[in-house]
Amino acid sequence: MELNLSLSQKLILTKEMRLSIEFLTMGPMDIIEYINKEVEKNPLIEIKDDYYISSIASENSTKDYLEKKVVSEVNLKEELLDQLRFSKIQREDIKIAIFIVESLDHRGYLIEDIENISHITKSSKEHVIRVLDIIQSLEPAGVAARTLEECLELQLKRKGIMDNVFHKIIYEYLYLLQEDNRREICRNLLINEVDLDEYIKKIKNLNPIPTSGFSEEEEIAIAIPEAYITQNDNLIEVKMNREFYPEIKINDTYREILENKNSTKEEIAYVKEKIEAAKALIRSVEKRKSTIEEIINHIVENQEEYIKRGEAYLKVMKIKDLSEKLNLHSSTISRAIKGKYLMINNNLVTMRELFTTPVNKNSGEELSNSVNFIKSSIKSIIDKEDKKSPLKDEDIRVILKGRNMNISRRTVAKYRSELKIDNVNKRKLKK
């Protein structure tokens, strides 16, 4: 009897742990829908403000609107899984394949890094890469790419026309294409402009967004922010969004069955089961609230300058550091921030994009600068340059190195181009 009770308690605990993790990954609309279903299944669950829940969940117009906006992402994932079913994928690859597919964003890009996938799926990096190759061989071409460059390369390989010139253009000279600096590309690749035009024509025919045109519906993410963060008089205010959290209570009427001597064993067992399920739901909701709030507080604490001064001041903030602070596994944090949004000074941003990584390493120490910070530094340097004698990209590289930002001249040119700042010749003032 004691053994059976112990096993039963462990089973309940395991289910509750799974429910807590599931709640952590859910978005606001998913939570509303889930709780509605639980209310229907469990008569012991009472919602204080049930009108709010039922009205949102039952409004066909709202639901249809949301479904239409995310249909291309959903259809893509379903299509990829269907293709996998008819492929020769090995049994040991299935778990990794499903995780990779579920980690694709609305563009069809893979947003989880290989190391994290390896850790979560308890597989070697080599195994993950091998399965990723399988996913990348599916339709549409370019799916599961990690970067724009890789997306273009996958499509060129699929067409059977990938060569060294394409590789160099894609991985080294895209920024020069943006500037229409064909002469320098030709000089570096030792080809003429006629040949370059042919290469460019083929690159322009590629699709930088694999999901584009995949579905008739356009993918536009509709998001409910987890919190509203504003700056007032140099103070940052955080207001958690609690509107989609209903107040869940347990219906006391059913407790009378437990106290009634005439109740049957089946009735008592049923009520106990439903009470435990209701308690587990309440605890899971509260756990999600507290965990998300802790994550948001960490973001605000570490990204104060970004909130006050803008994107250029986004600092390096790693999931690993937060996982240690909250005593949660990094994979749990990764799942918790996936698909979550914040409203920062009336701008909607994803929580994931606020967790940045260092640009590179210098003398064994990680740089404390994000890409956005380096871009901001480049813009600042160019803004202050002598307009009669503007700085070359190499000059800017040297200045950045003196500030402990060790990046290549080519990277300087790439970031400058992304900032839509002209090259040195175009910046030179006309006399």
The 10s digit of each residue's pLDDT in 378-407 is: 887 888 788 788 888 988 888 888 777 788
Burial 352-385 (b: 16+ CB within 10 A, else e): bebbbeebeeeeeeebebbbbbbbbbbeebbeeb
Of the candidates 53, 51, 50, 48, the one whose C-alpha atom is nearest the C-alpha of residue 28 is 53
Query: Is 53 a residue whose pLDDT tops 50?
Result: no
Residue 315 CA to residue 313 CA, distance in Å, equals 6
Of the candidates 388, 378, 385, 386, the one whose C-alpha atom is nearest the C-alpha of residue 420 is 378
160-175 mean pLDDT: 86
Pick the CATH number of 371-428 from 1.10.3470, 1.10.287, 3.90.1720, 1.10.10: 1.10.10
Residue 260 CA to residue 268 CA, distance in Å, equals 9
Q: Which stretch of 42-56, 148-162, 390-404 has the lowest confidence by average pLDDT?
A: 42-56
For the chain, the distance separating the N- and C-terminal CA atoms, rounded to the nearest angstrom, is 95
Give the mean pLDDT of the chain. 78
What's the confidence (pLDDT) of residue 361? 43
Residue 246 CA to residue 223 CA, distance in Å, equals 19
Residue 322 CA to residue 334 CA, distance in Å, equals 10
C-beta separation of 334 from 291 below 8 A: no
What's the confidence (pLDDT) of residue 236? 93
Stated length of the chain: 431
Q: In which band, very low, low, confident or very high, does the pLDDT at 143 lie, cut at 50, 70 and 90?
A: very high
What's the confidence (pLDDT) of residue 152? 92
Bridge partners of 45?
250
Stronger pLDDT, 239 or 321, i.e. the higher one: 239
Residue 376 CA to residue 311 CA, distance in Å, equals 9
Mean pLDDT highest for which of 40-44, 134-138, 317-321? Answer: 134-138
Q: In which band, very low, low, confident or very high, does the pLDDT at 262 lie, cut at 50, 70 and 90?
A: confident
The 10s digit of each residue's pLDDT in 295-341 is: 999 999 988 888 887 766 777 788 888 888 888 877 788 878 887 88
What's the confidence (pLDDT) of residue 223? 67
Using DSSP's 3-state secondary structure scheme, residue 387 falls into: coil
Query: Is 157 a residue whose pLDDT tops 60?
Result: yes
User: Rounded to whole angstroms, what are the CA distances from 222 to 65, 158, 349?
Assistant: 9, 33, 12
Q: Which stretch of 57-66, 186-195, 242-251, 296-305 has the lowest confidence by average pLDDT?
A: 57-66
What's the confidence (pLDDT) of residue 86? 74
Q: Which stretch of 2-6, 179-183, 340-344 has the lowest confidence by average pLDDT?
A: 2-6
User: Rounded to whole angstroms, what are the CA distances from 233 to 240, 251, 310?
Assistant: 20, 46, 16
Q: In which band, very low, low, confident or very high, does the pLDDT at 64 lie, cut at 50, 70 and 90?
A: very low
Of the candidates 3, 16, 74, 101, the one whose C-alpha atom is nearest the C-alpha of residue 280 is 16
Using DSSP's 3-state secondary structure scheme, residue 361 falls into: strand
The 10s digit of each residue's pLDDT in 282-307 is: 999 999 999 999 999 999 998 888 88
Task: Specify the domain boundaries for CATH 1.10.10.1330 within the chain.
Answer: 76-205
C-beta separation of 273 from 262 below 8 A: no
Burial zone of 120 (CB within 10 Å; 0-12 exposed, 13-18 middle, 19+ buried): buried
Bridge partners of 249?
46
- In CATH, the architecture of 76-205 is Orthogonal Bundle (1.10)
